[in-house]
Amino acid sequence: MLANYTELQTEIADTLHRDDLTSKIPLFIKLFEKRLNRHLNIPQQTVTTDLTLAANTQTITLPSDMMEPLDAVIYIGNVPCELVHVTGEFIDNTMPISSVPTYFTINAGAMNFGVTANQNYTVRLRYVKSWDLATDNTNWLLTNNPDCYLYGALAASAPYIGDDERLALWQSLAAESIDEIKRMGAQMRKAPLLTEVQAHKGKRFNIVRGY
C-alpha cells in the first residue's frame, strides 16, 4: 500500500476527486514534508555518510538533506577518532594553521575544521536526514505510516479546496498520526541500539581526550 511517491500521488488524486489539482499534488506533499521537518525528528531519520576532507582545505560541503548533525569521526589511518563539535568563535580563536582536524563547526552549509588538513581524510558524519519523497521515492515513514503522508498531504490542499468538509478530518488524522510517531520515536531513544553501545565500548578513539 502506497509503496512509493507515485502511488501516494495517485491515492491523493483519487481522494480529492479534483482533476484541476493534479499538478498541485507534488506541492501538497512537499508542504506537508516541510511541516514534518519542523516537528518530527525520529531515529529512523538518522543516516551516516562518508565525506572527504581534501589535503590543504578546511571545509567539507554538507549533504543537502541534512537537518541536524549528530556526531562525526575522522579516520587517522584505519582508526576512527571523534571530532568535537564547537562554536565558530572557538574555531576562529584557537586553531593552528595546519594539523590533523580535531574540532568542527557548521557554517553556511559546510563543516569547517578551522585548520588546513595536512593530508586527505575520510570524515564519517552521522546526521538527521530531512523527509523528501520527490528525491528518495520512498522512505521509512511512507512504508510504515502511509496514512501520515496521505492525510498530511490532503490537509495541505486546504488553500485550494476551500470549505471542503473533509478538511477537518484530514487535519485531525494527520496530527494524530504525527503525535503517535513522535511517541514511538521517544520510546525508541530510551533504549540505545546495539551498535551505539558497541561504539562507546572502545571502538572510537578521542584524539582530544587521548582514549
| 143-156 tens-digit pLDDT | 999 999 999 999 99
Domain carrying residue 84: 44-129
- Phi, psi torsion values for 73, nearest 5 degrees: -130, 150
What is the pLDDT at residue 188? 78
Q: Is the confidence at residue 211, as pLDDT, over 80? A: no
Span of 30-44, 94-108, 128-142 with lowest mean pLDDT = 94-108
Question: Does residue 18 sit in the same domain as residue 65?
Answer: no
Tell me if 210 is assigned to some domain: no
Question: Does residue 78 sit in the same domain as residue 54?
Answer: yes
Q: How would you classify residue 109: left for phi > 0, otherwise alpha for psi between -120 and 50, otherwise beta? A: left
Question: Does residue 48 sit in the same domain as residue 123?
Answer: yes
Q: Is the confidence at residue 15, as pLDDT, over 80? A: yes
Task: Categorize the per-residue pLDDT at 207 as very low, low, confident or very high, splitting at 50, 70 and 90.
Answer: very low
Return the residue matching grid coordinates 503522508.
149
Q: Is the confidence at residue 118, as pLDDT, over 60? A: yes
- Helix (H), strand (E), coil (C) string for 16-46: HCCHHHHHHHHHHHHHHHHHHHHHCCCHHHE
Q: Of 129, 150, 166, which residue sits at a domain end?
A: 129
What is the pLDDT at residue 200? 44
**Model pTM score:** 0.81
Alpha-helix residue ranges (DSSP H) falling in 40-157: 88-94, 133-136, 140-144, 146-155
In this predicted model, which residue has the larger pLDDT, 125 or 89? 125
What is the pLDDT at residue 192? 55
Tell me if 105 is assigned to some domain: yes
Tell me if 117 is assigned to some domain: yes
